[in-house]
Chains A and B, each alone.
Chain A
Amino acid sequence: MAAFQMSREWIGIQQFPPATQTKLLEILGKYKEEDVSSLTVLVMGKGGVGKSSTVNSVIGEKAAAVSTFQSEGLRPSLVSRSRSGFTLNIIDTPGLIEGGYVNDQAVNLIKGFLLNKTIDVLLYVDRLDVYRVDDLDRQVVTAITDAFGKEIWKKSALVLSHAQFSPPDGLNYDLFVSRRSDALLKVICAGAQLKKQDLQGSSIPVILVENSGRCHKNESDEKILPDGTSWIPNFVKTITEISFNGNKPIHVDKKLVEGPNPNEKGKRLIPLIVAFQYLLLMKPLVRAIKSDVARESKQAWEMRDSGLASRKT
């Protein structure tokens, strides 16, 4: 794991209500047990779904610039906070969608930014209170997959923001959440070309998040979701689980950033293919031709031609 230098003390954690703090510290203790000194979280998603806000909520301070109506620009930003020897790095990325397309430039910027870093957790953020999934979602997922490989989805979680929300049509909240997350997960599977067995045992967890200042609080002043759970500890806990879920973290190296070199691809197969061609294709062909020639008398020029042809081959 790459070490990140400029990590500041995680002061924001003190902003949290004591109950939350306790839970967080408890979780962080787990890292100590495992002797993990840092965790890198990559946050990705469409624009305007609340990525930066989520980062801010979790960090407990206004670390990432948020503006309602303007997009942040294309540069990813790294927020890293350390608390008693443990460093949490969160990489906030710009929205990947620009004008109906996946913004390849943004993706490349992110990749470059992540060079030589290791991603322990990918958070794919989308809104809970959107009803439909569309091609854009699939494109975003595909773009992420293309950038980091589909393995990254094994270290990922689906974050649904705007979780404080009452579903329409009198739907049950839990039902809504599950349907919404199912829909998104389906998109992710499709976009990442994950097969069922790929995800076996490690299905992508869903984290609900509510970043608004209007988020309900429980009696101990924790921000809670409509289902009553306090989401920040839950969020951190889920991240922790993912980081320890046994799958290898994704190390972003040069190769990954630059993508596969087409010149390298399948190099080893070349002799095989040549042999295959020689043995299975050329031989029978030559034989067939020869027999054909033997059987039939031909014009002189034809014989010359066929001779040439066979030699070429």
Chain B
Amino acid sequence: MGDGAEIVNMSEGEEKKLPEDRISDEQVEKNELVGSDEASDSDNEEEIFEEAIGSQEAPKTEPFEVDGLHEDLRLEATPENFKDEHEVVDDLEEVSSNESGVKDSKTYHSIVGESHGEVNVQDITTGEAERDLVTPKMNDDKGEAGEEISHGQIDSSLDVVENSEKATCSGSNLAGEDVNMQNGNTHSFPENGIISVSALSEETRNDSIEDINWEEKADVSAGMETEEEIGGGEGTNKNCSENGFVCINNVSGEQRNGETGAGYSSVKMASGDKSLNDSLEILNVGTSSPLEKSSPEEKGEIEGHSSSGFPGVTCREHETVQNSNVRHDVQQSPQRNKDLEKQQGSRVNIGPEITVSPHVEREFEVVSSDSRTESVSSLPPARPAGLGRAAPLLGPTPRVTQQPRVNGNVSHDQHQQVEDSTAETDEHDETREKLQLIRVKFLRLAHRLGQTPHNVVVAQVLYRLGLAEQLRGRSGSRVGAFSFDRASAMAEQLEAAGQDPLDFSCTIMVLGKSGVGKSTTINSIFDEVKMSTDAFQMGTKRVQNVEGFVQGIKVRVIDTPGLLPSWSDQHKNEKILRSVRAFIKKNPPDIVLYLDRLDTQSRDSGDMPLLRTIIDVFGPSIWFNAIVGLTHAASAPPDGPNGTASSYDMFVTQRSHVIQQAIRQAAGDVRLMNPVSLVENHSACRTNRAGQRVLPNGQVWKPHLLLLSFASKILAEANALLKSQDNTAGRPFAARSKAPPLPFLLSSLLQSRPQAKLPEEQYGDGEDEDGLDESSDSDEESEYDQLPPFKRLTKAEMAKLSKSQKKQYLDEMDYREKLFMKKQMKEERKRRKMLKKFAAEIKDLPNGHSENVEEERSEPASVPVPMPDLSLPASFDSDNPTHRYRSLDSSNQWLVRAVLETHGWDHDVGYEGVSAERLFVIKEKIPISFSGQVTKDKKDATVQLEMASSVKHGKGRSTSLGFDMQNVGKELAYTVRSDTRFKNFRNNKAAAGLSVTLLGDSVSAGLKVEDKLIANKWFRMVMSGGAMTSRGDVAYGGSLEAQLRDKDYPLGQCLSTLGLSVMDWHGDLAIGGNIQSQVPIGRSSNLIARANLNNRGAGQVSIRVNSSEQLQLAMVALVPLFKKLLGYYSSQQMQYGQR
């Protein structure tokens, strides 16, 4: 029991040391989680547990109650869970062995958050589950996508944790064999978050289980018998999500598909914003795969669950989807899901098997949704489904608030995003090697302290190291290389050999009230009188360094003068602590040991002033890495209320609780849970045969104390190692290798870019692209002129007209307008031809419209202006920067203007950068366009530079060359691309391109082929395919885009596009499709419908109506309508916008 308590404490201890980022990131999360947890299903949990237990042959664990407050939970849970120490140990062993299989896990213990701790507990308790648990982890190596970036890491790790839990539960079920939770209950197993599991037995098909990832599993090293089990799955369904992770529907869908990668998307709350932004995106998740493959009923169910209309989310979602396609995953954010689930109150039904986790892990990508995301999404119609391109809408719809880039590159925002998600680290043997060394070191330490790996603390640390390693590890096959067993063997060997000095030293700083025994404790640690002590005098007057060896381990202890409890003495304390701070500046301690007496009863919060002062001086973070030491541990517990002595353990527990509570209160951080170690310095203390002091509960305190200290040092070391790894990843030319975000590069390659054109050709797009048009419409030449004269009516006159007259008038007007426009276009064309013919002085035409090129492709009718205004916002908010600032049009050939960030803070000045563009002409033949943009927001600066040039050689053949430089996450990506187009037939244009990208230290090369088919004036189709390779890693992608235009294009506003894209990377196939249609309704309204779907089952529907009339009120009626619709197709969400 004592040990049990330690375990718990230990885990908590770790939390403390989590690096700040965790704190910051997690905090939010956590809070949310906590909040939600409480609400959610404690009942269910218990249920689950009970079932699980029932299924286990020898239930060892008792269900433990999960509180909203985890801390409490742990503490309380401890005794129950750890009743049987041995058992626990056994389990741990299992774990460790599994781990060994896993092996190259990355230690990122910082990740270990609360959830972590809990998870651990849980894992330990459910012994059987362990194997399964391991499985998922291993799979994650697939990691392909893996891209978790440093930001994302924490989160992702959480995911893993979750998964592991998930696994755990399933494991237990499996063990139980045939435990079917078919009863449709929703079980949640949440630690931090929610896990909702529901099994709909009827629908479940066992087959679906499908071994989700067979292959992967196979890779997985030994001990994974899981396959059978899983396969046999016995219809147990469980999804557990932790931290809000939702495995939900996707999982099931996925499983069904078997082949597809993970249907499950992991969430990444990458950058601190996690909460809200991400959450919106969750929606997608719900819709997952079922659409594709699963049986209808399921579909229905799932959909029902996942989407409860969240109108208005669309935009963002777009983005999401997009990204996800690129990266092959869907992002979802946990909390949201959770909410979602709750809201719906419906059960999520999941496919029968819970094999769950493996997939999840493996897919895992972090897409960060930071503010950037939003900005991207603000480009409304852009590639809705992430399928490469979607034809831009005609007319007013695309309110592009940011200027398109010259070369049509994806905006930097997106890049960044992608990169965030892609920064996943590659396998790094070096790192793992180091981790392994750390593990060995720790085992040696434990050995010297006389602790076996079975010791709870040791086990915890090993588990954590392993877990962290797995989180960062990628390939399952390599997992086996460094195992715990090996580490253990190595450690023993080294210890036995007695050579190879242990490279470890630990610095412990001792803090505490005066007279609690700080110096004495130090003496006890070293087993010799290092410090003079006096019972009645303030023994230590100044900060001192004490160094020595304990079992050959170098230990350095910083002794500090005692602190005074009185409030009036706090200035003295402050002085003391400041001197301590100055002292430790150079050589900070690895761990802080806060000593207090076990046998005092600080019930009068007498320590509060002192604790406050400590925090004032050192900051609350000092407690993240602190152990509470209780001296005089051999003293007898006070008499209980009934006069008999209370139990020692109870006494210790209570006393620890009091101190921990005081610390929490003083630090204002409820998560703090400092491990407690007992200390007894009295010479009369009972000793064991080896002369070690033994506490009344049989514990030998010194090794335990040291082990705790060393453990935190070890974990800090591992953390630092992994962290430094991250850092190097961030540097552009780090030695570390990194997988480039192939899908992203590929999709950017596949994008067809307009070629740079000479200024005089700027408006020749129509010819170039719409070659057919020209020839076809020579007939109606002078139609407009032939019309009788027409007089526009004034408004007053209009008012007099009857309804039918008015209608006629307007129709007539429209007709004439159309004809007029046609005429104009024709004239324009003619003029251009003329100009071409006399290609002499065309230079008077304005320069710098390169930025319009892309738009022009689809809307050649637009009239270029020298300095196009930014599109106006939909609102008339006078604070909108667009209204407030205009760009100046200078005669300078450089077109320079501010970059507007539309999604900044409310009413903030949204200009965050500068862009410059210019079109050069070399030898009057070769155009070179240049555009650059630098933006800097509060977080980071991005640079984007593009140069493009094209050369025409021969008729219908041209080659363009381009160079891009842009920020992809923290690195700069340099891309050189070239692209040649042939126009072999009238209706067919082909293009082939090459690109080379240098991102960080990796070079990727890509090849693409594109074919554009113009069937007639209205229909055209673009197909492209390409491959991108880097370091033996290849991603293939293709896209198909068809466009159907209005008959009297470009005048008509009808437009339908269909896009499909396929991306294959690491065997993950991502298919997405979108369809979009724009139809004018009446004279002044426009309806735009858009739907997209990917093979994960994520999709969305959006319907948007633009109206220039006051239709708003009427449109409101559509809301319930669509809601109803959503009821049927719940997997889709709609966006309903109106302008």
Contacts and interface: CB of A to CB of B under 8 A. Distances in A.
Interface of A: 46-48, 53, 62, 66-71, 95, 97-101, 127, 129-132, 134-136, 139, 162, 166-171, 176, 179-180, 183, 211-214
Contact of B520 (A69, A100, A166, A168): A168
A212 B638 contact: yes
Interface stretch (B103-111, B639-647, B971-979, B1064-1072): B639-647
B683 interface: yes
A99 B654 contact: no
Given A132-B562, A136-B566, A53 B639 contact: yes
B536 A132 contact: yes
A271 B645 CA distance: 67
Interface of B: 514-515, 520, 533, 535-536, 538, 562, 564-570, 599-606, 608-610, 632, 635-641, 643-646, 651, 654-655, 658, 681-684
A167 B538 CA distance: 17
B515 A98 contact: no
B643 A99 contact: no
B567 A100 contact: yes
Contact of A70 (B565, B603, B636, B682): B603
Nearest to A137: B566
Contacts of A136: 564-566, 606
Nearest to A183: B536
B600 A48 contact: yes
Nearest to B605: A99
Given A129-B635, A169-B535, A211-B639, 16 more contacts: A53-B639, A68-B637, A69-B655, A70-B603, A98-B605, A99-B604, A99-B605, A100-B570, A130-B600, A135-B564, A136-B564, A136-B565, A139-B566, A168-B681, A169-B683, A176-B535
B820 to A, nearest CB: 86
A101 B683 contact: no
5 contacts: A97-B606, A132-B514, A135-B564, A136-B566, A166-B684
Contacts of B567: 99-101
A134 B566 contact: yes
B645 A99 contact: no
B536 A71 contact: no
Nearest to A133: B536
Contacts of A67: 641
Contacts of A70: 603
Given A69-B601, A179-B535, A100 B643 contact: no
**Majority secondary structure, A binding face:** loop
A169 B684 CA distance: 9
A190 B632 CA distance: 30
Contacts of B608: 99-100
A127 B569 CA distance: 21
B683 A170 contact: yes
A101 B565 CA distance: 9
Given A47-B604, A48-B604, A100 B610 contact: yes
Contact of B654 (A69, A130, A132): A69
Contacts of B644: 213
A136 B607 CA distance: 12
Contacts of B601: 47-48, 68-69
B566 A98 contact: no
Contacts of B604: 46-48, 71, 95, 97-99
A139 B569 CA distance: 11
Nearest to B612: A100
A100 B632 CA distance: 22
Contacts of A170: 683
A131 to B, nearest CB: 4
A212 to B, nearest CB: 6
Contacts of A180: 536
A68 to B, nearest CB: 5
Contact of A134 (B533, B565, B637, B681): B565
A195 B515 CA distance: 28
B640 to A, nearest CB: 8
A168 B521 CA distance: 12
B872 to A, nearest CB: 61
B536 A134 contact: no
A180 to B, nearest CB: 7
B569 A134 contact: yes
B921 to A, nearest CB: 80
Contacts of A129: 599, 632, 635
A172 to B, nearest CB: 12
A135 B636 CA distance: 27
A152 to B, nearest CB: 22
B565 to A, nearest CB: 6
Which of A53, A62, A134 has the most CB atoms of chain B within a 10 A radius of its CB?
Answer: A134
Nearest to B602: A48
Contacts of B570: 100
B515 A130 contact: yes
Nearest to A72: B603
A68 B564 contact: no
A263 to B, nearest CB: 30
Contacts of B643: 62, 213
Contacts of A213: 639, 643-645
A130 B601 CA distance: 12
B530 to A, nearest CB: 14
A134 to B, nearest CB: 5
B603 A168 contact: no
B682 A166 contact: yes
A46 B536 CA distance: 19
Nearest to A94: B604
A168 B599 contact: no
Contacts of A211: 639
Nearest to A67: B641
A78 B535 CA distance: 36
A67 B641 CA distance: 6
Contact of B568 (A47, A130, A139, A169): A139
5 shortest interchain CB distances as A-B pairs: A100-B567, A132-B515, A48-B601, A100-B609, A47-B604
A47 B637 CA distance: 17
Contact of B536 (A47, A100, A131, A166): A131
A76 to B, nearest CB: 16
Which of A62, A166, A213 has the most CB atoms of chain B within a 10 A radius of its CB?
Answer: A213
Contact of B641 (A47, A66, A131): A66
B641 A99 contact: no
B605 to A, nearest CB: 5
Contacts of B609: 99-100
Contacts of A183: 536
A171 B535 contact: yes
A61 to B, nearest CB: 10
Which of B601, B608, B655 has the most CB atoms of chain A within a 10 A radius of its CB?
Answer: B601
Contacts of B654: 68-69
A136 B608 CA distance: 13
Contacts of B603: 47-48, 68-71
A85 B601 CA distance: 38
Which of A70, A99, A129, A211 has the most CB atoms of chain B within a 10 A radius of its CB?
Answer: A99
B625 to A, nearest CB: 25
Nearest to A50: B638
A100 B636 contact: no
Nearest to A98: B604
